[in-house]
Amino acid sequence: MTASPSLVARTGSLFHRYANPGRFLRLAARLQPWLTGLALLFTFAGLGWGLFFAPADWQQGDSVRIMYVHVPTAILASSGYAALALCGLLSLVWRHPLADLAAVEIGPVGACITAVCLATGSLWGKPMWGTWWVWDARLTSVLVLFFLYLGHIALIRAFDDPQRGYRAAAILALAGAVDLPIIKFSVQWWNTLHQPDSITLTGAPTMSSSMLWPLGLSMLGISLGFAAIVIARLRAAVMESRVRSLLSNPRRRGDAA
Q: Is the dihedral of CA 138, 112, 124, 56 positive or negative?
A: negative
What is the smallest separation between the CB atom of 144 and another protein, expressed in angstroms? Answer: 11
Angle at 41 between CA 35 and CA 43, to 5 degrees: 95
Does residue 88 contact residue 173 with C-beta atoms inside 8 Å?
Answer: yes
User: Are 134 and 192 within 8 A, CB to CB?
Assistant: no
Q: Which residues bind another protein (CB under 8 A)?
A: 1, 6, 8-9, 12, 55-60, 64, 67, 89, 92-94, 127-131, 134-137, 174-175, 177-178, 182, 189-193, 195-198, 203-212
State the virtual CA torsion across 90, 106, 37, 41 in degrees, nearest 10: 120
Q: How far is the CB of 114 from another protein (least distance, A)?
A: 20
CB of 34 to another protein, least distance (A): 32
Helices (H), 129-161: 137-156
* Closest by CA position to 220, among listed 66, 52, 28, 43: 43
Q: Compare residues 134 and 232 and give the one whose CB is closer to another protein.
A: 134
Q: Looking at beta carbons only, is 208 or 245 nearer to another protein?
A: 208
Q: Which of 209, 250 has the CB closer to another protein? A: 209
- Paired strand residues for 61: 57
Give the nearer residue to another protein in terms of CB position, either 112 or 212. 212
Question: What gap in Å lies between CA 65 and CA 51, rounded to an integer?
Answer: 6
Compare residues 217 and 238 and give the one whose CB is closer to another protein.
217
Closer CB to another protein, 66 or 238, in the complex:
66
Tell the smallest beta-carbon distance from residue 235 to another protein (Å): 27
3-state SS assignment for residue 57 = strand
3-state DSSP assignment of residue 133: coil
Min dist CB 199 to another protein, Å, is: 9
Q: Least distance from C-beta 91 to another protein, angstroms? A: 10
Q: In terms of C-beta density within 10 A (0-12 exposed, 13-18 middle, 19 or more buried), how is residue 166 classed?
A: buried
